[in-house]
Amino acid sequence: MGKMILDGEIVDNNWQRFEPGQLEEDNQSLPENQPVIVPLAYWQAHRDVLLEREAPVGVCLEPGEEPADLAADLPHLPLVAIHFPAFKDGRGYSYARELRTRYRFTGEVRAVGDVLQDQLFYMHRVGFNAFEVRADRDIQEALKNGLQPFSVTYQGDVHDPRPIYHRRQELERA
Partner 1 sequence: MYVYQDYDQRLLEERVAQYRDQTRRYLAGELSEDEFLVLRLQNGLYIQRYAPMLRISVPYGLLSSNQVRTLGKVVREYDKGFCHVSTRQNIQLNWPEVQDVPDILAELASVQMHAIQTSGNCIRNITTDEYAGVNPEEVEDPRPWCEIIRQWATFNPEFAYLPRKFKIAVNAVPDADPALIGVHDIGVKIVHNAAGETGFQVWAGGGLGRTPMTGAVIGEFVPWQHLLAYLEAILRVYNKYGNRDNKFKARIKILVKALGPEKYRELTEAEFAELKDGPMTLTEEEVARIQGCFTEPAYRDDADTGALQKALDENRAFNRWFHTNTRAHKHAGYRSLTLTLKKTGRIPGDVSDEQLEALADLADRYSFGELRTTHQQNMVLSDVAADDLFELWQKLDALGMATPNLGMLTDIVACPGGDLCSLANAKSVPVAEGIQRRFDDMDYVHDLGLLDINISGCMNACGHHHIGHIGILGVDKKGKEFYQITLGGRGDKLSRIGEKMGPSFESYEVTDVIEKIINVYVDKRLENEPFIDTYERIGMEPFKENVYG
Strands 108-113 and 36-39: unpaired
Check binding of 103 to partner 1 (CB under 8 A). Answer: no
| Count of residues that interact with partner 1, criterion CB under 8 A | 42
The backbone torsions φ and ψ at residue 2, rounded to the nearest 5 degrees and listed phi first, read -80, 170
- Backbone region of residue 127 per phi and psi (left: phi > 0; alpha: psi in -120 to 50; beta: other values): left
Query: How far apart are CB 102 and partner 1 at their closest, in Å?
Result: 7
The backbone torsions φ and ψ at residue 124, rounded to the nearest 5 degrees and listed phi first, read -60, -40
Q: Which is nearer to partner 1, 19 or 118 (CB)?
A: 118
Q: Are 131 and 4 in contact (CB under 8 A)?
A: yes
| Member of 1, 88, 104, 135 binding partner 1 (CB under 8 A) | 88
Q: Are 18 and 45 in contact (CB under 8 A)?
A: no
Check binding of 102 to partner 1 (CB under 8 A). Answer: yes
Q: Which is nearer to partner 1, 49 or 171 (CB)?
A: 171
Query: How far apart are CB 125 and partner 1 at their closest, in Å?
Result: 4
Check binding of 104 to partner 1 (CB under 8 A). Answer: no
The DSSP secondary-structure symbol of 83 reads: E
Residues forming beta bridges with residue 12, ordered by sequence position: 3
Check binding of 166 to partner 1 (CB under 8 A). Answer: yes
Query: How far apart are CB 56 and partner 1 at their closest, in Å?
Result: 28
R_g of the chain computed on alpha carbons? 17
Check binding of 90 to partner 1 (CB under 8 A). Answer: yes
Q: Which is nearer to partner 1, 44 or 145 (CB)?
A: 145
3-state secondary structure of 152: coil
Q: Alpha-carbon distance 174 to 165, whole Å?
A: 15
Check binding of 87 to partner 1 (CB under 8 A). Answer: yes
Which residues here bind partner 1, judged by CB under 8 A? Answer: 63, 66, 87-91, 93-95, 97, 101-102, 116, 118-119, 121-123, 125-126, 138, 145, 149-157, 161-166, 168, 171-172, 174
